[in-house]
Chain A
């Protein structure tokens, strides 16, 4: 394969990393751009993958090895695209990077963190915990470099933090830089954000013991805010009754009109987190349809067979605080019945909102009515992963591998 102009991959979640690596190992030059200070997007915030219940960091370990072994991929973190113009051979793109208050000299030794007293809400842990303003983004972060929430720190503290670094890695005067690139084609792999809980007040969004599925991943994770203990946020106690509310915002014309494709399996997986840790807990999953395609059916069979796990057909219409507990009203429209139930912890299986709504992508992408990015091979833009359609990790990887090929082919084609 002849090397032409580089491929630009936007977003370094599992889809973007995959697209970048598969193209680069085939010989293409690739620029992988990520907004956050470290790569991995949503998957590194998950406790396990279904159906194997294995940790995402295991596959990431190999992908990071592949990235570092490959001179053809350039990864630019804390960066976004701020301008893009189509050219005869692809796109002329401007990236805005940084400011890089912590530079490449950082060894991740932790001396700066010891000198820091200001705490901020931890974005890696979805704000469920406080962390130092200067910190490693997370335990397995790559690039393995600290990130500094400079604006949160008073100047004198910031100076003390910078002085604590023995390697000259902290630059308090850093400013954002821009870089112009000519690329042959673009892969949009910008992923998704969870549907916000505050849009779901009827389901209890906003109540302390009503959490989102993505928060459950962090609660169960060994590097999460509770070191992996599943507890009620209100009192830190393990819940005796956990209710999962499926299609919280999905398959609902008032919220997301589509099915998010992964939430059934995510809740089944999370039910097994609860049962592994709290064998006596009662788990109930309220669903419309149990969508576990392919061999993922095994997950449904395994979890449904667990003692103390019930799957109940019905759409939860209302969740309210009732004394210390949460009261759920569940409607099974088809059977014409209403169920009243109680739980100590409610997990809303919130759906996926494509990040394609963001401004910088408007430079490239056509979107459908649901906000998912559309392919435009003639325009040398290909979408991958959840930017393109709601899907699970395995599908995103498949999709991204194909997207890399289609983008490279588009870049080779003469106009």
Chain B
């Protein structure tokens, strides 16, 4: 922006702490097209004064140095500037409230902060949202409970739906069930299976096209306009706006449960096999065709088990309770024994559980099953049960409550398998070929697991986090996978019961419709919902290093044959990780770029005198560290006055040139404060702080070249609620720099 004005607010004690006229003079000297000091910018007359200044000086951008950008957003939004037209400097929190009033250091801090804001605004360019035709159609992959419900709800929201199902019939695993676990009152008994009604509704809906016996051949493109090739009779090509993956789970393979007698005796069956008998209305021992005198259920068959599935499959306890009710209804005489470790019937399923507890001839037995003996009458050997340390219970029919395994394919690992196979043939050294061959062997179980067949550079399916479930912020934002516009729903996403799978399908439909509507407006989806800026690539300078295409957590960038990035802008979440990764610094958003932050760093006045005041650059994540610092200030904390904070979108957007720039200008140290990383990451962009940490490892060379100590750079992981810790982090870093002595580059 060419004509940037600086608005200085004197309210909330800022005017008492800082000589704003002096700050205004410093801003004018730094090139502000106009300055305005007002005692309360967020009040009606303050906003009016700003509007008048904008008009009088024909300003195309403003720096508002007042409270944190997290306060009074709606008031300042009324000025009508987009993010490329207004930058807010937290003079209140980061200066006036946290530093001594009238102090020279406080004034220098205020002047620096305002100059930095001005430098940033001058680098902004107008935002023109991406505009392109968008398809309203939602593609649902999988015709089980979650997929059917997703299709029904998306159509109910007015969107055309294409539902593809690999099998011949709809309904998924529930189709063969007599009943389901109760989903609404009364909770004390099984409920009729809703699947037939749901299938009828979906197949009769004019907005839903059902394609059975169909799989996905390929998906390319981006939200709003995915190009999909369907393999089915007949092969079809279509364009869809968003995708819901509801491919479900499969039962854990009971053949792996030899110790429980599966495969050794026909009378050891799985809960699915029992379901078939319940549906037929007769439960018998497969070996003899006779009615069983005692049916024994073994819970956690393959779940909560280090050797099998470490997680709890969530729905097996409720399924067993339901099957016990069903069994009692068709066979009043047989004894029922349920062997469990913890009976997990959460919420109002307690009523279903109570019904089994009160059932004549039914017994709940807590214990660990060691093995099932199949010589003679089946004998289930227990330990740690009420029957004693070791005991055995005989039964005629043993039902294994097997857990569930998501069908999800792990896109990143499939990609790695393909890369390893390529390397095993084409790598230059024999050693590299051997290593790649070994890796390919380890990953070979991912062969042929593709479901979505995404033509993405980072692999053909959603990346998984743990236990093969798709990676997402599964607490706060469970639908946000790492592939924009593709939402996982139902048991493919997490172990869950049928009622939850239906809700999940409805939720995914909400997200899919939302993604399409936001694509129409050219807006980013979560977490920077509504952001219309997008990254531009100055490809003439691209060296095809592939860092950006590798590092984007959302698989936004594809590659051409040479390795040049190809932007799919509506996949982009606007975190800036690509911008941070680029050694040529050719990636810029209209309102956020490497150059803008570098200019902010240049705007810090570094006293040249070696005995003078140190300067510290703090690059802070705007989602966690900056809010923590704001809260510290509101809570009355103070911190070292040499710190100059630059809020950044994500630590992953940190380009190492910023650090080199700061240190070469004599800044004494650089601290990066971002979110926690690892399996329990808190980064809203998944891997930002982790990537920043990796990049810092490579800054060592720069430091050596400058003959500087590595302790001048530090990365700290910090949570949003650590307002009490963040001032200490800054003070400790300042103290450590003081011990090191001044940056010898000062004054050069």
A-to-B contact residues, CB < 8 Å: 1-2, 14, 21-23, 25-27, 47, 49, 51-55, 57-59, 61-66, 68-70, 105, 107-109, 136, 139-140, 144, 166-167, 221-223, 227-228, 251, 257-261, 289-298, 301, 313, 334-336, 368-370, 372, 374-375, 389-391, 393-395, 397-406, 408-409, 412-413
Q: Which of B42, B344, B496, B724 has the largest number of chain A CB atoms within 10 A? A: B344
Distance from B530 Cβ to chain A, minimum over Cβ atoms (Å)? 4
A109 with B11: CB separation less than 8 A = yes
Contact B721 A294 (CB under 8 A): no
B695 interface hit (Cβ, 8 Å): no
Given A57-B720, A105-B42, A334-B366, 18 new contacts (CB under 8 A): A26-B518, A54-B719, A61-B624, A62-B527, A66-B526, A69-B530, A107-B11, A108-B71, A221-B721, A257-B351, A293-B312, A336-B386, A374-B184, A390-B348, A402-B506, A405-B154, A405-B506, A406-B506
Q: Is B537 an interface residue (CB 8 A)?
A: no
Within 8 A of A (CB), among B124-163: 153-154, 156-159
Decide if B476 is an interface residue (CB 8 Å cutoff): yes
In the complex, which residue of chain B has the Cβ closest to the Cβ of A136? B634
Q: A253 to nearest B CB, angstroms? A: 9
Residue of A nearest to B136 (CB): A1
Taking a contact as CB atoms under 8 Å apart, the answer to whether A390 and B157 are in contact is no
Q: How far is the CA of A409 from the CA of B152 in the complex (A)?
A: 10
Q: In the complex, A231→B623 CA distance in Å?
A: 31
What A residues does B351 contact at CB under 8 A?
A: 257-258
The residues of A that contact B509 with a CB separation of less than 8 Å are: 402, 405
Is there contact, CB below 8 Å, between A405 and B185? no
Instruction: Chain B residues near A406: list those with CB within 8 A.
Output: 153, 156, 506
Contacting pair A290 B342 (CB below 8 A): yes
B514 interfacial by beta-carbon distance below 8 Å: yes
User: Which label, helix, strand, loop or mixed, suits the secondary structure of the B interface?
Assistant: loop
Cβ–Cβ contact A1 & B466, under 8 A: no
| CB-CB nearest in chain B for A400 | B507
- Flag if A22 contacts B514 (CB, 8 Å): yes
A-B contact pairs, 9 of them (CB 8 A): A14-B476, A23-B510, A26-B510, A58-B476, A139-B631, A289-B342, A295-B467, A391-B347, A401-B506
| Nearest 6 interchain pairs by C-beta | A402-B506, A59-B476, A409-B156, A401-B507, A405-B510, A55-B721
Q: Quick check: is B589 within 8 A (CB to CB) of the other chain? A: no
With A55-B720, A139-B723 in contact, do A398 and B12 touch (Cβ < 8 Å)? no
Q: In whole angstroms, what is the CA distance A54 to B366 when docked?
A: 34
Mark out the residues of chain B between 52 and 94 whose CB falls within 8 Å of any chain A CB in the assembled complex.
67, 70-74, 77
Scan B285-297; emit 1 where CB is below 8 A from any A CB, else 0: 0000000000000
> Size class of B's contact patch?
35 or more
| Contact residues in B for A391 (Cβ distance below 8 Å) | 346-347
Q: Is the CB of B494 within 8 A of A25?
A: no
Residues B682 and A292 in contact, CB atoms below 8 Å apart: no
Q: B530 and A70: CB pair below 8 A?
A: yes
Interface-forming stretch among B497-505, B575-583, B600-608, B705-713?
B497-505
- Contact partner of B314 (CB less than 8 A), chosen from A14, A221, A293, is A293
* A390:B346 contact, CB within 8 angstroms: yes
Do B312 and A398 have beta carbons less than 8 Å apart? Answer: no
- Give the nearest-CB partner of B13 in chain A: A109
B43 on the A face (CB < 8 A) = yes
Chain A residue numbers with a CB within 8 Å of B494 are 294-295
B311 and A289 contact, CB distance less than 8 A: no
Contact status B304-A398, CB under 8 Å: no
Q: Are B623 and A58 in contact (CB under 8 A)?
A: yes
* A139:B635 contact, CB within 8 angstroms: yes
Q: Which parts of B1-32 form the interface with A (CB within 8 Å)?
A: 11-13
A293 touching B680 in the complex, CB below 8 Å, given contacts A26-B510, A61-B720, A401-B507: no
Known: A49-B475, A54-B682. A374 touches B504 (CB 8 A): no
Q: Can you name the residue of chain B whose Cβ is closest to the Cβ of A392?
A: B475
Given the complex of chains A and B, what is the CA–CA distance between A25 and B479 in angstroms?
14
B623-649 residues with Cβ-Cβ distance < 8 A to A are 623-624, 627, 631, 634-635
Distance of A108 Cα from B11 Cα, bound (Å): 11
- The answer, yes or no, to whether B511 is at the interface (CB within 8 Å) is yes
The verdict on A140 contacting B627 (CB below 8 Å), with A389-B348, A402-B506 known, is yes
Contact in complex: A259, B349 (CB < 8 Å):
yes
Is the beta-carbon distance between A402 and B475 smaller than 8 angstroms?
Answer: no
CB atoms of A334 and B510 under 8 A apart:
no
Q: Are A295 and B475 in contact, with the CB atoms below 8 A? A: no
A1 in contact with B719 given A54-B475, A291-B342, A398-B504 (CB within 8 Å): no
What residue in chain B is nearest A68 (Cβ atoms)? Answer: B73
In the bound complex, residues from chain B placing their C-beta under 8 Å from that of A54 are: 475, 676, 680, 682, 719
Measured between beta carbons, the chain B residues less than 8 angstroms from A49 are 475-476
Q: Write the chain B residue with the least CB distance to A382.
A: B506
Whether B503 pairs with A294 at a CB distance below 8 angstroms is no
- In the complex, the answer to whether A58 meets B344 with C-beta atoms within 8 Å is no
| Docked complex Cα distance between A399 and B506 (Å) | 9
Q: Tell whether B538 is near chain A: CB-to-CB under 8 Å.
A: no
Asked if B660 is at the interface of the complex by the 8 Å CB criterion, the answer is: no
* Contact among B312, B517, B676 with A292 in the assembled complex (CB-CB below 8 Å): B312
Q: How distant is the Cα of A334 from the Cα of B314 in the complex, in angstroms?
A: 24
Q: Which of A66, A289, A313, A394 has the most CB of B within 10 A?
A: A289
Please state if B511 and A58 are interface contacts (CB–CB under 8 Å): no
Q: How far is the CB of B475 from chain A (nearest CB, A)?
A: 5
Q: Which single member of A69, A108, A334 contacts B529 (CB below 8 Å)?
A: A69
Query: Which residues from chain B contact A413 at a C-beta distance below 8 Å?
Result: 156
Task: Evaluate whether A398 and B720 lie within 8 angstroms (CB atoms) in the complex, with A61-B627, A259-B347 already known.
Answer: no
A412→B156 contact, CB < 8 A: yes
Q: How far, in angstroms, from A301 to B154 measured CA to CA in the complex?
A: 39
Contact with A along B337-369 (1 / 0, CB 8 A): 000001111111111001000000000001000
- A372 touching B348 by the CB < 8 A rule? yes
Knowing A61-B624, A70-B529, A293-B346, say if A1 contacts B631 (CB, 8 Å): no
Contact A107 B344 (CB under 8 A): no
Return B414 CB to nearest CB of chain A, in Å. 22
A361 to B343, CA, bound (A): 34
B344 touches A289 (CB 8 A): yes
Q: Is the pair A58, B721 in contact by a Cβ cutoff of 8 Å?
A: yes
**Contact residues in B for A336 (Cβ distance below 8 Å):** 386
A230 to B184, CA, bound (A): 40
- Residue B478 interfacial (CB < 8 Å): yes
| Interchain CB contact under 8 A, A144 and B71 | yes
Distance of B553 from chain A, by nearest CB (Å): 16
A1 and B347 contact, CB distance less than 8 A: no
- Complex alpha-carbon distance, A59 and B350, angstroms: 31
Contact, CB under 8 Å: A297 / B310: yes
Using Cβ atoms and an 8 Å threshold, which residues of chain A touch B67? 107
Q: With both chains docked as a complex, state the minimum distance between the C-beta of A350 and any C-beta of chain B, in angstroms.
A: 16
A53 x B40 contact (CB < 8 A): no
Nearest neighbor of A168 in chain B, beta-carbon distance:
B43
Q: Is B469 an interface residue (CB 8 A)?
A: yes
**When A294-B495, A397-B478 are in contact, do A405 and B513 touch as well, CB less than 8 Å?**
yes
Chain B residues with Cβ under 8 A from A47's Cβ?
Answer: 721
C-alpha spacing A291/B345, complex, angstroms: 8
The docked-state distance in angstroms from the alpha carbon of A328 to that of B507 is 44
Q: Which residues of A contact B350 (CB under 8 A)?
A: 251, 257-259
Looking at the assembled complex, report how far the CB atom of A101 sits from the nearest CB atom of chain B, in whole angstroms.
18
Closest residue of chain A to B39 (Cβ to Cβ) is: A166
CA distance A298 to B474 in the complex (A): 14
B721 touching A109, Cβ below 8 Å: no
Name the CB-closest residue of B to A287. Answer: B342
Report A-chain residues with C-beta under 8 Å of the C-beta of B473.
Answer: 59
Question: Which residues from A are CB-within-8-Å of B731?
Answer: none
| Minimum Cβ distance to chain B for residue A32 (Å) | 14
Question: Chain A contacts of B676 at CB under 8 A?
Answer: 54
Query: Does B513 lie within 8 Å of A1, measured CB to CB?
Result: yes
Chain A residues in 8 Å Cβ range of B184: 368, 374-375
Interface centre among B475, B500, B503 (most CB of A within 10 A): B475
Shortest Cβ distance from B504 into A: residue = A398
How near does chain B come to A31, taking the closest CB pair, in angstroms? Answer: 16
B173 interface contact, C-beta 8 A? no
